[in-house]
Amino acid sequence: MRIKIHKKGRPTFRLALPTGMIVFFLKRESPGLARAIRSLKKNKKRIKKLLNGEPLIQVISKEGDVVEIRL
């Protein structure tokens, strides 16, 4: 999964994390989220096509900072 963090006026921080690693860290604290991410991984190709370039999650703060999570 690709995470992009952009703080206004600062360089953009991009992170690519293996899905398995995210699932591993989440499965105790948030089993529902871990299950969801595992399911996303299984259907990655199809879901990416359906998303058509849109992020899974996008948060834009009032200050203009942006956090995006893509598959």
Partner 1 sequence: MDNKSFSETLIRLRKEKGLTQADVAERLSVSPQAVSKWEKGDSFPDVSLLAPLARLFGVSVDELLSGEKPTKVEVVEPEGGDLSKVFLRIRVDSKEGDKIRVNLPFEIVEACTGENGKLEISGDGPIKNIDFRKIIELVKKGVVGELVSIESKDGDIVKIYAEVVQ
Does residue number 20 form part of the binding site for partner 1 (CB under 8 A)? no
Does residue number 17 form part of the binding site for partner 1 (CB under 8 A)? no
By three-state DSSP, how is residue 54 classified?
Answer: coil
Binder of partner 1 out of 15, 17, 25, 64 (CB under 8 A): 64
- Which stretches does DSSP call E strand in 1-71? 2-6, 13-16, 57-60, 66-70
Nearest distance in Å: CB 51, partner 1: 6
In total, the chain counts a number of residues equal to: 71
Structure tokens at 55: 């992020």
**Interface residue list for partner 1 (CB under 8 A):** 30-33, 35-36, 39-40, 43, 46-47, 50-52, 54-62, 64
